[in-house]
Amino acid sequence: MPATQPDRRTASKAARRQAIIDAALGLAREHGRHGFSVDLLAQRADVSRRTVFNHFSSLDDVLLAAHTQVMDVLIDDFDRRSAATPVGDGSLASVFDELGAALRVIDLVGPMATLTHLLDGLDDDDEAGQRLVREVMHRTTARLAADIARRSPGADELDIDLLVHSLVGGLVVLHAHWSARTGAADDAASRLVWADLLDRLITTVRNGYR
Amino acid sequence: MPATQPDRRTASKAARRQAIIDAALGLAREHGRHGFSVDLLAQRADVSRRTVFNHFSSLDDVLLAAHTQVMDVLIDDFDRRSAATPVGDGSLASVFDELGAALRVIDLVGPMATLTHLLDGLDDDDEAGQRLVREVMHRTTARLAADIARRSPGADELDIDLLVHSLVGGLVVLHAHWSARTGAADDAASRLVWADLLDRLITTVRNGYR
DNA sequence: TGCACTCAGTGCACGCTTGCACTTAGTGTA
DNA sequence: TACACTAAGTGCAAGCGTGCACTGAGTGCA
């Protein structure tokens, strides 16, 4: 972020883009990914439908941006906690424990519920949805791995990539189970289910398969 | 107002112009007419200073629009009450009584307080301020007279003009006295003073000087 | 199977905002 | 009295939003 405020033109453009993303998240939460049109999105965002396409190349592009933003918020939260945590001894075990501890503390249920709506009705035949998931997974793991590498310069890059993929891939599997059991609700009961599933993931990956 | 909604472009332009007027009223209320600059106005209205001059030819033009709007709201109120009141016998006395009754019921203290700030520090040497008052007085009396004439087609136009000028001119005199006595405050005590002064005006003009 | 309809996405022109450099008037001070 | 400063107001060009007509893909129905 530059030290000075962006000018009004830049700020206005960014605000309008954000309004479109917020509208997409709101509509997805209410209707699921398939339940809204460009017209509804534009109306909710208080822009013209042409403006939606000035900012995004397609509706899928809007969903990707919405998805990425949800993940970015999680990674921002992780980065803030890391910055406030003493650096470990640089070992992979230490890195893993830090990430595992963060996953336990960060609110994942809210974003999970949101992502469930964004991926409403996703199945193997849904090419656009599958492409969306792959893109988001790629961006998320790349960013997280880069942040961790920056924090532990001595660690091997491949090791970090594998670690991150293990955990993030595990989260995807967890999401499927959690969603099946709770209907992707965001309440106290579903949070208990999530905490239990998460503990099993962290313990399993931490201990490996010896 | 057209039956259909104005398009987004028209609505946005009108909203921005209104934001400038609202900002002017707010700043005048806080600092008086002389206490703010184009930069402050633009910032408060959340537009660029160029945009202020896209909508208005000068700062005085903004003040005129703000002033006119305050008066228009009062006349709108008067028109609504008139529309809900049975038409009198068309005599001037009847017209006068209707106007007098409306003046007693309509909230004048709020707008009076606002206009006092808009005309902050007005004196005989303040050419811009004097021009502003003349313009607003002209527009206000013209509009009010036209509305009354529409409502009483049989009445003589000159008679209506004189009647309206008597009352509106009297209101200006009343404002000076009220302001001197109450400091243009908008509270229960100042409202009592206003009610008393207004009653004297209406009674005096109604009875004439026989 | 052809037609009609809907909706995502697009090109183009225009309206309006904004950034920025500029002029001018007014004011204060040495 | 001259100079420096401030702020109102202006011209021009660029950025962005919007209106609108359009194309094409997908879908449903006779």
Taking only the tens place, the pLDDT of each residue in B128-185 is: 677 777 777 788 888 888 888 888 888 888 888 888 888 888 888 888 888 888 888 8
A123/A184 Cα distance (integer angstroms): 16
A81/A90 Cα distance (integer angstroms): 17
Do residues B127 and B82 share a domain?
A: yes
CATH number of the domain where residue B130 is located: 1.10.357
Do residues A46 and A66 share a domain?
A: no
Domain that holds residue B44: 1-56
Do residues A92 and A111 share a domain?
A: yes
B58 touches strand C (CB under 7 A): no
Long-range contacts at B48-56 (CB < 8 A, ≥ 24 apart):
B48/A8, B51/B16, B51/B20, B52/B20, B55/B16, B55/B17, B55/B20, B56/B20
Residue with tokens 């933003």: A69
Q: What's the Å distance between residue B12 CA and nucleotide C16 C1'?
A: 9
Read off the tokens for A193.
Answer: 């289910």
Q: What is the pLDDT of residue A2?
A: 43
B37 touches strand C (CB under 7 A): no
A28/A34 Cα distance (integer angstroms): 8
Domain boundary among B56, B84, B100: B56
Q: Is the pLDDT of residue B124 over 80?
A: no
Q: How far apart are the first and last CA of chain A?
A: 46
Do residues B50 and B77 share a domain?
A: no
Which ipTM did the prediction report?
Answer: 0.76
A103/A75 Cα distance (integer angstroms): 10
Do residues A65 and A52 share a domain?
A: no
Q: Which residues of A15-41 are buried (b: 16+ CB within 10 A; e: fewer)?
A: ebbebbbebbbbbbeeeebeebeeeeb
B9 touches strand D (CB under 7 A): yes
Do residues B29 and B127 share a domain?
A: no
Do residues B123 and B133 share a domain?
A: yes
Per the structure, the count of domains in chain A is 2
Residue B163: phi and psi, rounded to 5, are -60, -50
Q: What's the Å distance between residue A9 CA and nucleotide D16 C1'?
A: 8
A41 touches strand D (CB under 7 A): no
- Digit-coded pLDDT (tens) for A45-103: 999 999 999 999 999 899 889 988 988 888 888 888 888 877 777 778 888 888 888 88
Q: What is the pLDDT of residue B20?
A: 96
Looking across all nucleic acid strands, the nucleotide with the smallest C1' to CA distance from residue B55 is C16
Average pLDDT of chain A is 84
Q: Could you give the percent of chain B with pLDDT greater than 90?
A: 23
Residue A4: phi and psi, rounded to 5, are -90, 155
A54 touches strand D (CB under 7 A): yes
- Digit-coded pLDDT (tens) for B31-81: 777 778 999 999 999 999 999 999 999 998 998 899 889 888 888 888 888
Do residues A93 and A47 share a domain?
A: no
Q: What's the Å distance between residue B130 CA and nucleotide C28 C1'?
A: 27
Do residues B43 and B82 share a domain?
A: no
Do residues B51 and B87 share a domain?
A: no
- Digit-coded pLDDT (tens) for A134-151: 777 788 888 888 888 888
The Cα-based distances of A165 to A145, A169, A202, B101, B197 in angstroms read 9, 5, 13, 79, 81
Q: Is the pLDDT of residue A28 over 80?
A: yes
A9 touches strand C (CB under 7 A): yes
A47 touches strand D (CB under 7 A): yes
Q: What is the pLDDT of residue A43?
A: 94
* Residue of B88, B109, B108, B84 lying closest to B98 (CA atoms): B88
Q: Closest residue to C20 by CA to C1' distance?
A: B50
Q: Give the residue, B207 or A44, on which the prediction is more confident.
A: A44
Domain boundary among A17, A38, A56: A56
CATH number of the domain where residue A24 is located: 1.10.10
pLDDT band at B2 (very low <50, low <70, confident <90, very high): very low
A50 touches strand C (CB under 7 A): yes
